[in-house]
Amino acid sequence: MTGLTVRRRRLPMPGRSGDGASWLRLGAAAGLWVAVFMANGPLWDWAVHDLAGLSVDSRLGDGVHFFFYDTVKIGLLLGGIIFAVAVLRTFISVERTRELLGGRGQVVGYVLAAALGVATPFCSCSAVPVFIGFVAAGVPLGMTMTFLIASPLVNEVAVVLVAGSFGWDVAALYVATGLSIAVVAGVVIGRLGLERWVEPFVYQTTVGTLHTARNSPSWQERFTLARAEVASIIRRIWPYLLVGIGIGATIHGWAPEDFFARYAGPDNPFAVLVAVVLGIPLYSNAAGTIPLVEALHAKGVALGTSLAFMMSVVALSLPEMVLLRRVLRPRLLAIFIGVVGTGILAVGYLFNAVL
Partner 1 sequence: MQVTVLGAGCANCHTLQDRANQALGHLGADSSAELVTDYAVIAGYGIMNTPALVIDEQVVLAGRIPSVAELVSMFAGRQS
Q: Return d(Cα 324, Cα 101) in angstroms, integer.
A: 21
**Apex CA 282: angle with CA 68 and CA 128, to 5°?**
110
In the complex with partner 1, which residue's Cβ is closer, 226 or 276? 226
User: Smallest distance from the beta carbon of 232 to partner 1, in angstroms?
Assistant: 8
DSSP secondary structure letter of residue 47: I
For 288, residues 6+ apart whose C-beta sits below 8 A from its C-beta are 237, 240, 241, 243, 244
The reply on whether position 122 binds partner 1 by CB under 8 A is: yes
Q: What is the CA radius of gyration of the chain?
A: 22
The reply on whether position 51 binds partner 1 by CB under 8 A is: no
Size of the site for partner 1 (CB under 8 A): 33
Which helix (H) or strand (E) segment holds residue 344: the answer is helix 330-354
The residue from 129, 138, 193, 281 that contacts partner 1 (CB under 8 A) is 129
Q: Return d(Cα 99, Cα 93) in angstroms, integer.
A: 10
- Mark the segment that binds partner 1 (CB under 8 A) among 75-83, 150-158, 208-216, 275-283: 208-216
In the complex with partner 1, which residue's Cβ is closer, 71 or 144? 144
- Mark the segment that binds partner 1 (CB under 8 A) among 75-83, 148-156, 198-206, 247-255: 198-206
For 33, residues 6+ apart whose C-beta sits below 8 A from its C-beta are 76, 79, 80
The residue from 38, 60, 125, 334 that contacts partner 1 (CB under 8 A) is 125
Q: Return d(Cα 289, Cα 345) in angstroms, integer.
A: 18
Q: Return d(Cα 67, Cα 254) in angstroms, integer.
A: 13
How many angstroms separate the Cα of 51 from the Cα of each of 45, 62, 118? 9, 14, 44
The reply on whether position 133 binds partner 1 by CB under 8 A is: yes
DSSP secondary structure letter of residue 283: -
- Mark the segment that binds partner 1 (CB under 8 A) among 26-34, 99-107, 129-137, 301-309: 129-137
The reply on whether position 201 binds partner 1 by CB under 8 A is: yes
The residue from 123, 278, 334, 355 that contacts partner 1 (CB under 8 A) is 123
User: Smallest distance from the beta carbon of 47 to partner 1, in angstroms?
Assistant: 36
Q: Return d(Cα 173, Cα 348) in angstroms, integer.
A: 12
The reply on whether position 211 binds partner 1 by CB under 8 A is: yes
The reply on whether position 152 binds partner 1 by CB under 8 A is: no
- Mark the segment that binds partner 1 (CB under 8 A) among 69-77, 106-114, 133-141, 281-289: 133-141
The residue from 21, 87, 136, 282 that contacts partner 1 (CB under 8 A) is 136
In the region spanning residues 290 to 349, those forming contacts with partner 1, defined by CB under 8 A, are 323, 326-327
User: Smallest distance from the beta carbon of 334 to partner 1, in angstroms?
Assistant: 21
For 198, residues 6+ apart whose C-beta sits below 8 A from its C-beta are 135, 141, 327, 328, 329, 332
The residue from 99, 196, 205, 334 that contacts partner 1 (CB under 8 A) is 205
Task: Catalog residues that contact partner 1 under the rule CB under 8 A.
Answer: 8-9, 93-95, 98, 121-123, 125-126, 128-130, 132-134, 136, 201, 204-212, 225, 228, 323, 326-327
